[in-house]
Chain A
């Protein structure tokens, strides 16, 4: 055990954690909106819209995140037309490519979580709202969405943790996130175990925090 290396690499890894957290928070926020949009589309009665939303979530859940990042980072740059539009400003940056891939990926999982949450809402609750003369729009925003969010908290907590682990793939497109820096230190010092303990410890700490925050929210918003 090389404790000196562990102590020396800790600040470097902690600095890289900031990038990991940035990637995670931005893609979760964007992903939540994508997920909500597609969950609503999934509940649409129009078969075409329904199938489109299903296809989206099927493709993004059925392929590895790594493929998705590579298609966006390496693949899209190949299209000449895209290079001439303003989109190129975004797509040439690995940071934004990673965020787009993460957001689309977590969006697909989130849409499934929210869809099943919407479907488990008891019809009686919606009927009660209707019989009280509340408009459909308000029933949706004030009754269905809050209940669905509460229902999906446990599953969404898992998704946040999965996404946090997913951000490690940003290191494959040259970003120096926590895993990227860990790999760099391992490959220069050849001390994989020490670095793994420190970097893994930071990841576990984040998992622990997320887990407990979700647990707290679950308790706070529980029905009884």
Chain B
């Protein structure tokens, strides 16, 4: 137990900060994922084949390739890509992007591919009559989406989005390979310096379980909120 003490003697405060980091990365990645989904879902549902193709390539490649490989691509290629863009504007110094940005971007792109599929499925399962009714009543395209489609889509999407959240949360453990100090990395450091890997990795497992458990509780509340009237 003294291994978990707060302060200089134990790893309690370090692990607490690491847990906050895991939550921060997961939420950032989820938001980045939603932005990707916001771009790619309309492309998936578009009538134009080339746009469909772009969105399909994105979701198929990301969902068919291991997360770790995507993370390595960003970890080793991220600063190179940014430096390449910067060099076009005449900036030739070395640029280093920090592990948080690379990590949440890599996980975000993965999470976005799953979210895209969820939103596509949700929109497709909304009754066609809803779209037609909205059109007939003369709603503008913008209003059709925000007032009629979006609320119904959210209700249908939340159960599956909760799966995406769980996947995203667990995927953040993989960015420990880039050196970002989240739960996994912190446990690795603690296990190395105390030579007690069994305890620290088991504790990490408990922390992840706690996070998934608490987030499920929260999502269940959201689910109830969005299914009012059903």
Contacts and interface: CB of A to CB of B under 8 A. Distances in A.
Interface stretch (A39-47, A85-93, A180-188): A180-188
A62 B198 contact: no
B196 to A, nearest CB: 7
A78 B197 contact: yes
A44 B205 CA distance: 27
Contacts of A59: 205, 209
A186 B76 contact: yes
Given A71-B202, A75-B198, A165-B65, A66 B76 contact: no
Contact of A182 (B69, B77, B170): B69
A171 B184 contact: no
Interface in B59-84: 60-61, 63-69, 72-73, 75-77, 80
A199 interface: yes
B191 interface: yes
A169 B174 CA distance: 9
Chain B contact residues (Cβ within 8 angstroms of A): what range? 35 or more
Interface string A182-201: 11001100101100100110
B209 A203 contact: no
A207 B64 contact: yes
A192 B77 contact: yes
Chain A contact residues (Cβ within 8 angstroms of B): what range? 35 or more
Interface string B150-181: 00000000000000001000110110110000
Interface string B45-59: 000000000000000
A63 interface: yes
A121 B63 CA distance: 31
B212 to A, nearest CB: 4
Interface of B: 60-61, 63-69, 72-73, 75-77, 80, 166, 170-171, 173-174, 176-177, 184, 187-188, 191, 195-198, 201-202, 204-205, 208-209, 212-213
Interface of A: 58-59, 62-68, 70-71, 74-76, 78-79, 161, 164-169, 171-172, 179, 182-183, 186-187, 190, 192-193, 196, 199-200, 203-204, 207-208
